[in-house]
Structure 1
Amino acid sequence: MDLSSQSVSPIPSGSEPNLPKKSLEGRTIPKVTFLVVAICWFAMFSEGYDLAIYGAVLPAILDDPAWKLSPAMAGSIASYALFGMLIGAVISGTITDIFGRKKVMALCITIFSISMIFAALAPTPQLFGIIRFIGGLALGGVIPTASALTIEYSPIKRRSLMYAIMYTGYAMGGVFSAFFSILFLADHSWRVMFWIGALPILAVPFILKFLPESLEFLVVKNRVADAERIANKYNISIENIKEAAKKEKKKAKSKTNNAVAELFSRQNIRPTIFFWITFFMGLFTIYGLTTWLPQMMRSAGYPLGSSIGFLLMLNFSAAVGAILAGVAADKWGSKKVIIISYLLAGISIALLSVKSSMLVVYGLVGVAGFGTIGTTLILNAYISKYFSTKIRGTAFGWALGFGRIGAILGPILAGLIISWNFNLTMNFYVFALAGTIAAIAVIFIPKGIHGEV
C-alpha cells in the first residue's frame, strides 16, 4: 500500500527527537547499522554453512556404501545447489527491487533451512540432489538482499568495511561446517551435519520483527512515510536519500524503466560484461575449491581430519582477510585491492601443486582463502556501490547469476578431472588460471559514475 500521502506517525517512544539526526553520508556509524549488519551477518553465516558442509562431508559421502558415488556424480550433485542459486540470484535480485529486501530474506532463510531437514533424510543421492537444488533457489536470494541492506544502511565512508564485516558471516559459516565435521564426522553420520544446518529457521521471527526495510527502497517506491517512520525510530536523516531519489527519477524520465535493459545501455555495458567475467571466474574457483579441497588433499596423502582442516583454514583466512581488505578498499579503492588479491590467490593455488611442509601448505591455503572467498566479499561491495540505486539489486543479482554458471562448472570439472585419472595438479592449475583471469577482468572495469574505484 502506498503510504506516501499519509501523515508521518509520531516518533516512537525511546527515540531522541531533540538530538541532531545522523547522516549516512559521512563516517559516523549509527546504531541501526550494527543491527542490520548483525542480522545480515547471521543470514550469510547460515548460507556459508549450507554451501560448505557438502564439501566438508564429501569424503564421508564418497565412502558411504549405500550410495556408491563416483567423483563425477559427486561433483554434479554439488552443482545442483549452485544451479538453483543461479536461478534464485537472478529472480531475487530483481524482485527485491520490486518488493523490498526484508521479506525476501526471511523467506529465503525459511526455505533453505527446511531443505536441510529433507537433505538429512534423503534416501537416495538423486533425491538428495533435487532437495539441494530447491535449497539453492533460496540460497541465491540471501546474498543480494543482505548485500543491499548492508550497503544502504552503512555510512558511505564505511561501506566497504561494514560490508566486509557482514560478509565474513559466509566464511565463518564455512569455518563452522569444517569445525563441526572434525568434531562429529568420525563418530556420527554425515546426515547429522545437515540437521545442524536447519537451525537458522528459528531466527526468522526475530528477523521479521527487528530488521528494518531498506530506506532507499521505500523512498524510491514513494513510501516516504514508512521511510520517515524508520528514520525517526533510529534517529537518522534520510534527506540525502530523498534528494538522490529525485535525481534518479529525473534521469530515468529519458531512459528505459527496464532495469535489466539498462545494464546493457551504452553507459553500463562495459562494466556489466567485465563484472560478469570476474564473478564467473571468482565463483568457479571458490566453489571448486570448497567442494573438492578436502578430497583433493586426502588423495594427496593427508588424513581426513587434516584434509577438512584445510577447508577450515580456507574459510577462516577469508573471514579475517576480508576485514583487512575492507579497510584497504576504503583507503585505496576496491579495484586495486581486488586485482592484487586475485593475483595472489592464483599464485598460491598454483604452488599448492608442489609438495611442501604442512606449515607452508596451510599458509598457501590461507592466502588462497583470502584471495578467493575474501576478495569476492569486496567484489560484491564494489558492484553494490558501482551501480545506481534503481538497478543495484538487479545488477548484483544478474552478475551473481552469471557467476553461478562458473560456480556450477567448478565442482563438475574438478570431479571429472579426478574421474579421468588426470594428474592431481591439474585441478590446482585450472583454479589458479581462473583467479588470474578474474584479476585481469577487473582491470578493464572503468571508473564508476559515482566515482567508485
Structure 2
Amino acid sequence: MADRPHTLDVQQFIDERRFSPYQWFILVLCFLVVAADGFDTAAIGFVAPALAVEWQVSKTALAPVMSAALAGLALGALMAGPMADRMGRKKVLVGSVLIFALFSIVCAFASSVTELTVMRFLTGIGLGAAMPNATTLMAEYAPARRRSLVVNTMFCGFTLGASAGGLVAALLLPHYGWRSVFITGGVFPLLLVVVLLALPESIRFMVLRDWPRAKIAAVLQRIAPGMAFGQMRFVLPEEVSLQQQTGLSVVLSPRFRSGTAMLWLTYFCGLLVFYLLTSWLPTLMHDVGYAAREAALVSALFPLGGGIGAIAMGWLMDRFEPHRVIALAFTLTALFVWMVGQQASHLMWLALLTFVAGVCMNGAQSSLPALAAAFYPTSGRATGVAWMLGVGRLGGILGAFAGGLLLQANFAFSTIFAWLALPSLAAAAALLVKGIVMRARAG
C-alpha cells in the first residue's frame, strides 16, 4: 500500500532554515531591479535644469514632465498588483522592467515638453509595476524572523539608484547632455531583463495556484539542496477562505479595510515629501545661489541616506513593534526637514542635514512595503503592496506639482521646508492609528 503524502507548510519550511545562497540570488536580482527603478524615477529631477536651458522653457513649464512618470507609476502599480495575484509575480516583474527600460531610452530622443511628458508617463507604467512585484516576491522568499530586514535591504536599491542618478548626472551632463542620462537609465535594466529570466516564481503563489508538485519541490530543493520531498503535499499557513478570494476583495474587505486606508495615507504623505524634494531640490538650491553641480551633489545626498535608514529600520522592525518604529522615523523626518530650511546659506550644514533627513525619510518610506507585505495574505499580497504604492503615488504627483507652484508663488526656502514637515507628521499619526486598531482586534 502506497504511503500517504505528508503535508509541508512552505512558509514554515522557509522560516525554519537559514537564508540560503539561492535566496541571496533572489535578493540581489530584486535589489538591482529596484535600483534601476530608483535611477529612472529620479533622473528627471537631475536633468530638469539642463532641459530648461536647452529648450528655453521656464521651470514651472516642466511640472507636467516631472509628474508624468508619477502618474504612470500610479497606473502601473494599480494594474500590476491584481495581475500578479492572478498570473504570478515573475511574469509581471520581467515584463515591467522591459517596458521601463525601452521607454527610458526613447525619452532620450524627445524633442519637446509634450513628447517627453508622454514618454515619461509610459516609462512610469513599467516603473510602477516593477517595484511592488519585486517587493512581494522577496517577501515571500524571506523567513518571517528576518523579513523586514531582507525587504528593506532590497529597498536600499531604490535610494542608491536614485542617488546614483545624481552622481551620473553630475558626470554626464557637462560632457554629453541630458539625453545621455536617460540612455544610461534604459540600457542597464534592458540587460537586467535577460538575467531576470532565471528568477523563480513565488513559492507561495505556486502553492496557492496549485502548480505541479514537481515544480514546487524543485525550487524548495534549491533552498535546501540535501532534502528530498517525496510525495509531500504543499500547503499555506492561511485560512482557506482567504486563499479563495481575489486580491482586490482581500485588500478592501472589512478585515483589512482600515489598515489599508492608513497604509495608503502614510505612503501618500511620504511620497509627497520625497518627490517634492527629489524633483525640485536641485532647482530650489539653484535659486538661492548654488551652482548646478553643487545642487546635484547635495540633492543626491537625500536618497543616499536612505540605505542606512532602511537597513536600520528593518533590523528594528524585526525586534520591536513596527508601527511605532516607522512612526518615530517619520517624526524625526519632520524635524530634520524643517532644519534643512533654516540652513540655505550654509552649504556644509545644508548637505549634512539633507543627508540625515534622507536617512529618516527614506528609512521610514522604504519600510512601508515590508509592513504591507506582512499585513496581507498571499492571495492579496501583491495587490495590497501595489495599491499602497499606486495610491501613494498620487502624493508624489502632488509633490511634483506643488514644488512648481511654490516656486511660482516665490515662497522662501525656509517656508517651503516648514510646510514639508507637516505631511511627515501626518504619516506618523496614520501608522500609530493602524497599530492601535490591529492591537485592539488581536486583543
Question: Fold conserved (TM > 0.5)?
Answer: yes
Q: Is the 8 A contact 2:208 2:236 kept in 1?
A: no
Counterpart selection for 1:283 from 271, 274, 280: 271
Give the whole-Å Cα distance in 2 for the aligned partners of 1:240 and 1:342: 46
Shift in CA distance, 26/363, structure 1 to aligned 2, threshold 3 Å: farther
Identity of aligned residues (%): 28
Counterpart of 2:396 in structure 1: which amino acid? Answer: A
Task: Output aligned runs, 1:94-109, within 5 Å.
Answer: 94-109=82-97
Match of 2:199 in 1: 211
Match of 1:17 in 2: none
Give the whole-Å Cα distance in 1 for the aligned partners of 2:178 and 2:135: 31
Q: Does 1:270 align with 2:258?
A: yes
My pick for the range that moved more, 91-100 or 26-35, is 26-35
Match of 1:391 in 2: 380
Counterpart selection for 1:320 from 297, 308, 311: 308
Give the whole-Å Cα distance in 2 for the aligned partners of 1:42 and 1:51: 14
Deviation per residue, 1:198-245 (Å, 9 max, x gap): 11201212111x211100000000114221221123327899994425
Count, aligned residues = 426
Q: Is the 8 A contact 1:27 1:156 kept in 2?
A: no
Counterpart of 1:400 in structure 2: which amino acid? Answer: L
SS in 2 for 1:222: coil
Deviation per residue, 1:257-293 (Å, 9 max, x gap): 3432332322212111111110110111111111011
Shift in CA distance, 244/115, structure 1 to aligned 2, threshold 3 Å: same
| Aligned-pair CA distance for 1:305 | 1.4
Task: Output aligned runs, 1:246-261, within 5 Å.
Answer: 247-251=238-242, 257-261=245-249
Match of 1:73 in 2: 61
Q: Is the 8 A contact 2:149 2:311 kept in 1?
A: yes
Give the whole-Å Cα distance in 2 for the aligned partners of 1:98 and 1:59: 42
Counterpart of 1:119 in structure 2: which amino acid? Answer: C
Give the whole-Å Cα distance in 1 for the aligned partners of 2:287 and 2:120: 26
Give the whole-Å Cα distance in 2 for the aligned partners of 1:260 and 1:227: 26
Counterpart selection for 1:369 from 347, 358, 374: 358
Deviation per residue, 1:334-387 (Å, 9 max, x gap): 212211111111111111121363332222111221222221111110111111
Counterpart of 1:374 in structure 2: which amino acid? Answer: G
Match of 1:405 in 2: 394
Q: Does 1:91 align with 2:84?
A: no
Counterpart of 1:39 in structure 2: which amino acid? Answer: L
Counterpart selection for 1:30 from 13, 17, 20: 20
Shift in CA distance, 412/366, structure 1 to aligned 2, threshold 3 Å: same
Match of 1:227 in 2: 216
Shift in CA distance, 413/241, structure 1 to aligned 2, threshold 3 Å: farther
Match of 1:14 in 2: none
Give the whole-Å Cα distance in 2 for the aligned partners of 1:176 and 1:217: 33
Match of 2:8 in 1: none
Shift in CA distance, 117/249, structure 1 to aligned 2, threshold 3 Å: same
Counterpart selection for 2:370 from 371, 374, 381: 381
Q: Is the 8 A contact 1:248 1:390 kept in 2?
A: no
List gaps (5 residues or longer) in structure 2.
6-10
SS in 2 for 1:123: coil
Match of 1:159 in 2: 147
Match of 1:62 in 2: 52
Counterpart selection for 1:432 from 421, 428, 443: 421
Match of 2:236 in 1: 244
Shift in CA distance, 251/176, structure 1 to aligned 2, threshold 3 Å: closer
Give the whole-Å Cα distance in 2 for the aligned partners of 1:386 and 1:300: 44
Match of 1:119 in 2: 107
Give the whole-Å Cα distance in 2 for the aligned partners of 1:194 and 1:224: 42
Counterpart selection for 1:138 from 126, 129, 142: 126
Q: Does 1:194 align with 2:182?
A: yes
Counterpart selection for 1:417 from 406, 412, 425: 406
Shift in CA distance, 333/26, structure 1 to aligned 2, threshold 3 Å: farther
Give the whole-Å Cα distance in 2 for the aligned partners of 1:425 and 1:251: 49
Give the whole-Å Cα distance in 1 for the aligned partners of 2:276 and 2:63: 9
Match of 1:16 in 2: none
Q: Is the 8 A contact 1:387 1:448 kept in 2?
A: no
Task: Output aligned runs, 1:339-350, within 5 Å.
Answer: 339-350=327-338
Counterpart selection for 2:286 from 269, 274, 298: 298
| Aligned-pair CA distance for 1:413 | 0.8
Deviation per residue, 1:372-404 (Å, 9 max, x gap): 222111111011111111111111111111101
List gaps (5 residues or longer) in structure 1.
1-7, 9-20
Give the whole-Å Cα distance in 1 for the aligned partners of 2:153 and 2:84: 22
Counterpart of 1:229 in structure 2: which amino acid? Answer: A
Counterpart selection for 2:117 from 115, 129, 135: 129
Counterpart of 2:389 in structure 1: which amino acid? Answer: L
Match of 1:82 in 2: 70
Q: Is the 8 A contact 1:56 1:291 kept in 2?
A: yes
Q: Is the 8 A contact 1:53 1:177 kept in 2?
A: yes
Counterpart selection for 1:353 from 328, 341, 346: 341
Counterpart of 1:364 in structure 2: which amino acid? Answer: L
Counterpart of 2:359 in structure 1: which amino acid? Answer: F
| Aligned-pair CA distance for 1:27 | 6.4
Shift in CA distance, 123/303, structure 1 to aligned 2, threshold 3 Å: same
Deviation per residue, 1:157-206 (Å, 9 max, x gap): 11111111111111111121111112221222111111101112012121
Counterpart of 2:77 in structure 1: which amino acid? Answer: A
Scaled by the length of structure 1, what TM-score is found?
Answer: 0.89
Q: Is the 8 A contact 1:88 1:137 kept in 2?
A: yes
